Structures are given as structure tokens and as C-alpha cells.
Amino acid sequence: MLDIKITRTAAPKAKPEDETKLGFGKKFTDHMFVMEYEKGIGWHNPRIEPYAPFQLDPACVVFHYAQEIFEGMKAYRTADDTIQLFRPEVNAARMQDSSDRLCIPPIPVEDYVQAVKALVDVERDWVPHTDGASLYIRPFVFATDVGLGVHASHHYIFSIICSPSGAYYAEGINPVRIYVEDEYIRAAPGLTGFTKCGGNYAASIKAGELAAQQGYAQVLWLDGVEKKYVEEVGSMNILFNIDCKVYNAACEGTVLPGVTRRSCIELLQDWGYEVVEGKIAIADIMQAGREGKLEEIFGTGTAAVVSPVKELTWKGESVLIGDGNIGPVTQKLYDTMTGMQWGKLPDTKGWISVVEKVY
């Protein structure tokens, strides 16, 4: 158990007036969680304090060598004003995997969950009331040693900030166009693809910008060795419904193991779908598209929950998916996941974790 010291702000900010105009990750709440690490002492001084800039030395390791990891979660408000999280311990465990790869000292799962719940409890009035809106939670850890030598830092900061965010689908669920990237890669065996580290994103921005210039919503990454097998999309995992079987890339080092992906797979299996995890060749996907067998494609991630795809372009050829609208499996997953998250459906899977009122 962390002994979290709480200092409340003397100058609370005004809550957003129009929750339909929040957007994503633009506004932040009144407080943040902070805890420091020093080699020989360990993680110490856990506290919740007024949201404020960090003061960091310009020679701080994170600025130069990107020793940094993060997580992404949401807090949801139910009709009876319960505030709840979705599988927080899975995010905590994943952050430990990211820590290990980036040589960052791990944070115990129960400490991570306690810290998230304490901050959300303090900020519970910031959890939006509007349908589909939620409090986005961003835990992150970064190296704070001062000096330009390349080594694992001896000092770190673990912080959590919260951002009230609008419904992802404020204008209804619009299927997106996806560009299959065949020049740049996101991950390769032995690298950091399975971790949520800022460096993965830094390396992916260029492909995303080029695709956006051509009107695509996201990039679909192929494997980094042969550029033959599909891996994932931007900040989402991706699943393919072909002939009533659901295919997706195995999470074996190069693909981020999404909590949403894992939950969708469990639901699909409960519903009797066959889910195949393995190597899926982009050539086979395109062929299925040409033959009209590509029933549905959808991305999965905490922000969107599911994001249907209507068009895929690879090496200049485009295939259209289904009739261009959200498909029945995608819709059912969306309804079931969001139903549980916002407390409209019973939590039959034990995935919901309530944020009790303590502070």
C-alpha cells in the first residue's frame, strides 16, 4: 500500500461547460499523481498535488534518449454516478512489461492501481456526465538522471494526469480509410513494439502524416522484416472478419497487446466465433477483399473501443470492406464493451473495477 499524501489545489479550474466539445486530451484536471524513484531508495514520496509543470534539467536523460513509457485508460461515470475503471490491473501488468524492456524500475501492480484510483477519486467531479464522454487517464514514467552519458537512469518520475475527453464518435461511428504502409516500419523482432513507449510513436509520426495528407485516417503497419504480414494500426490493434472467422496478428514481441483487443477476443470466443491469432498475409487480405469475402475490419483501442474500416489501400490498390457501414460483429462488440464500461450492461466478465469514495 502506498501512503499517498494529498495536497488540494487552492485554485480549482472551471469544469468544462460543454462536454460535447471536449475533444481528446486537450484539457487537464486540477491534480496529478507524482512519485519518484532513486536507485538504492526505490519508489518513494507518492503524492497527489495541484497539476503543474515539471521542472527538469535540460540534460535530463528523457529529453535525449527517450527512456519513457506510458499507459492509457479511462474512467467512466454510470447512470447512478458510480465511477469505474475497465481492467486496470491489465494496464498495470503491461506497464511492468514496458518497464522491463526500457530498463525502468517496475511499479507493483497494486501500487499502480491504487495510484490511479486515488487520483480518479480526487478528480471524480471531472469525470464527464455526457453519453460516451469519459475521463482519459495517462500514467507515464520517465528517466530524470542529469547527464548525456547513455545508461539506464538512476532516477525516474512516475506521474498520472487526467483529461476529460469527449465521445470518440460524437458524430456517429464513421468507418475509416486505412493506408497499408509498405516503406516505413513500426517494429521488428527484438525491438520495442510490444511496449507502450514514446519512442515507438516518434518513429511512426512520419508515415502517419504522409497517409493523412492523402486522406487516410490511419496507417496499417506490416511486419518489419518481410513487410508481408499485418500487425497493427496507428494506436490500435486490428482484426479481420473473413468468412465468419476473425483473424488477428499474434502479440509476439512486435505488436502491442491491447486490453481492448484481448477483451474483444474473449467476447467473440464466448459468442462462438473462431478467432485465429497468427501470421496474416496482407496479400491474402487483399485477395479476400477482391473476392468479396472481407466482411469486416475493425481497429480496437481504449480511445475508440472499436473503429470500423471501410477501405484498405496497399501498393496503389484499394479494396472496399462490406457495404462501407459498420458491420454487425463490430457493432455488437462496440455495444457490449461500451455497455459494460458505462454500466448499462451487467459486468458478466468481472472486468469492472469501482473507484470507491475515500478522499
Partners of 141 in the beta sheet? 69, 158
Q: Are strands 352-354 and 305-314 parallel, antiparallel or unpaired?
A: unpaired
| Cell triple for 81 | 454516478
Measured between alpha carbons, how far is 128 from 135 in angstroms, rounded to an integer?
7
- Which residue, 29 or 302, is less far from ligand PLP as judged by CB? 302
What's the rounded Cα separation, in Å, for the pair 181 and 14?
43
Q: How many CA atoms lie within 13 A of 201 on its CB side?
A: 11
CB of 1 to ligand PLP, least distance (A): 26
Interface with ligand PLP (CB under 6 A), residue from 2, 122, 236, 333:
236
Region 53-82 residues binding ligand PLP, contact defined as CB under 6 A: 72
Of the candidate spans 112-120, 205-213, 276-284, 294-302, the one that interacts with ligand PLP by CB under 6 A turns out to be 294-302
Of 299 and 322, nearer to ligand PLP (C-beta) is 299
Closest to ligand PLP by CB, 95 vs 286, is 95
- DSSP-derived secondary structure for 155-183: EEEEEEEEEEE--TTTT----EEEEEESS
Q: Which is nearer to ligand PLP, 231 or 295 (CB)?
A: 231
Give one word for 137, left, alpha or beta, with left for phi > 0 and alpha for psi -120 to 50. Answer: beta
Residue 261 in contact with ligand PLP, rule: CB under 6 A? yes
The conformation of residue 101, written as its DSSP 8-state character, comes to H
Please state, as a whole number, how many other Cβ atoms lie within 10 Å of the Cβ of residue 209. 10
Q: Is residue 196 a contact point for ligand PLP (CB under 6 A)? A: yes
139 near ligand PLP, judged by CB under 6 A: no
Which range touches ligand PLP (CB under 6 A), out of 42-50, 174-182, 281-289, 297-305? 297-305
> C-alpha cell of 301?
483501442
> At which residue does the C-alpha cell 468479396 appear?
292
158 vs 168, which CB is nearer to ligand PLP? 168
**Is residue 313 part of the contact set for ligand PLP (CB under 6 A)?**
no
Taking CB under 6 A as the rule, does residue 232 contact ligand PLP?
A: yes
Answer yes or no whether residue 256 interacts with ligand PLP by CB under 6 A: yes
- In angstroms, the first-to-last Cα distance of the chain is 15
Member of 259, 267, 286, 321 binding ligand PLP (CB under 6 A): 259
Residue whose CB is less far from ligand PLP, 31 or 261: 261
- Using CB under 6 A as the binding rule, whether residue 153 contacts ligand PLP is answered as no
Work out which of 128, 164, 301, 327 binds ligand PLP, going by CB under 6 A: 301
What is the C-alpha separation between 65 and 32, in angstroms, rounded? 25
Beta strands in the chain (DSSP E): 5-6, 31-38, 42-50, 68-70, 73-77, 83-86, 134-143, 155-165, 176-181, 218-222, 230-233, 236-242, 245-249, 274-278, 294-301, 305-314, 317-320, 352-354
165 binds ligand PLP (CB under 6 A): no
Among the candidate windows 4-12, 46-54, 121-129, 235-243, which touches ligand PLP by CB under 6 A?
Answer: 235-243
Nearer Cβ to ligand PLP, position 144 or 235? 235
Q: According to the binding rule CB under 6 A, does residue 31 interact with ligand PLP? A: no
Number of residues counted as binding ligand PLP (CB under 6 A): 14
Specify the residue, 77 or 196, whose C-beta has the smaller distance to ligand PLP: 196
Q: Contact 25/31 with Cβ under 8 angstroms? A: no
C-alpha cell at 265: 477476443
Could you say whether residue 88 binds ligand PLP (CB under 6 A)?
Answer: no
In 3-state terms the chain splits into helix, strand, coil percentages (rounded to 5) of 25, 30, 45
Q: Which is nearer to ligand PLP, 85 or 288 (CB)?
A: 85
Cβ distance to ligand PLP smaller for residue 235 or 341: 235
Q: Of 84, 105, 87, whose CA–CA distance to 96 is shortest?
A: 105
The reply to whether 207 sits near ligand PLP by the rule CB under 6 A is: no
In angstroms, what is the minimal distance from the CB of 245 to ligand PLP?
Answer: 21
Site residues (CB under 6 A) for ligand PLP?
72, 196, 232, 235-237, 256, 258-261, 300-302
